[in-house]
Amino acid sequence: MNTLSVASTVYNRPVAASVYLPPCYDQLPGPLPVIYLLHGANTDETQWPDVGVQAAADGIIAQGGRPFVVVMPGGPYQNDGDYEAFVLHDVLPGIEAQLRVSQAGSGRAIGGISLGGYWALKTGFEHPDLFAAVGGHSPVTTRSAGPDDPAALASSAAGLGRLRITLDVGDMDSLRASTEQLAGELQTRGLAVTLSVNPGGHNRPYWRAHTAEYLRFYVDALSTPLRVNECGSLWGNFAAYGLQG
């Protein structure tokens, strides 16, 4: 796992981002599909690595999935802060200037845990042209009961038909009802949404158990299967390129 710094006009300081690079990244033709994963409340860019992104991504690629990059930005959530602006105006251009990742909507996905799920859904619903897929994992669906909350955007936002949407929540999570309601609103519009209610609560063991599923969903939305031996004789030689983290 790597760490990059992104200059931020929203925070007026550099913000760290954890980054997963696939095996033989330097040898691969770009741009590569990219998944942006947003952390939950009261944590940072280390949450997604802690719930197993590297092992899950390595496993998908080792099984023949096309190589992809995962970006997990930090930055605290502030009551008057606009994390959507941070993602759109700081993270995307900052990462695209440093890594060979897709700058096309068809090559980007965005998802998040809990409050990060709120911001991922809000950003994706308001800018469906910028992403191919969006996910909320145990997501907060409303903060202000305003028209730009995901719960409201689900019934009002235009262009959502171009997105693949995934939602999941634990059966013991207090956010289960609101997550199911959001899924129902999207399904009423005939949109491509999947909802999974799994055993568990609102905690890292729950997310850790499903991280591989999350990544598979995004990878399937972003890319076609890997051509056999695209990495040639270098394929699978993770350690040789310093990508073990």
Query: Considering the domain 2-222 in this protein, what is its CATH number?
Result: 3.40.50.1820
pLDDT per residue of the chain (245 residues) written in tens, 0 to 9: 999 999 999 999 999 999 999 998 998 988 999 999 999 999 999 999 999 999 999 999 999 888 999 999 999 999 888 999 999 999 999 999 999 999 999 999 999 999 999 999 999 999 999 999 999 999 999 988 778 899 999 999 999 999 999 999 999 999 999 999 999 999 999 998 999 999 999 999 999 999 999 999 999 999 644 443 445 434 433 333 333 32
The whole-number pLDDT of residue 72 equals 98
Separation CA 112–CA 180 (nearest Å): 17
Separation CA 115–CA 117 (nearest Å): 5
Instruction: Say if CB 70 and CB 215 are below 8 A apart.
Output: yes
Separation CA 230–CA 28 (nearest Å): 8
The whole-number pLDDT of residue 244 equals 30
Three-state SS letters, the chain = CEEEEEEECCCCEEEEEEEECCCCHHHCCCCECEEEEECCCCCCCCHHHHCCHHHHHHHHHHCCCCCCEEEEECCCCCCCCCHHHHHHHHHHHHHHHHCCECCCHHHEEEEEECHHHHHHHHHHHHCHHHCCEEEEECCCCCCCCCCCCHHHHHHHCCCHHHCEEEEEEECCCCCHHHHHHHHHHHHHCCCCEEEEEECCCCCHHHHHHHHHHHHHHHHHHHCCCCCCCCCHHHCCCCHHHCCCC
The whole-number pLDDT of residue 231 equals 54
The whole-number pLDDT of residue 223 equals 62
**What is the residue extent of each domain of the chain?**
2-222
Separation CA 182–CA 167 (nearest Å): 9
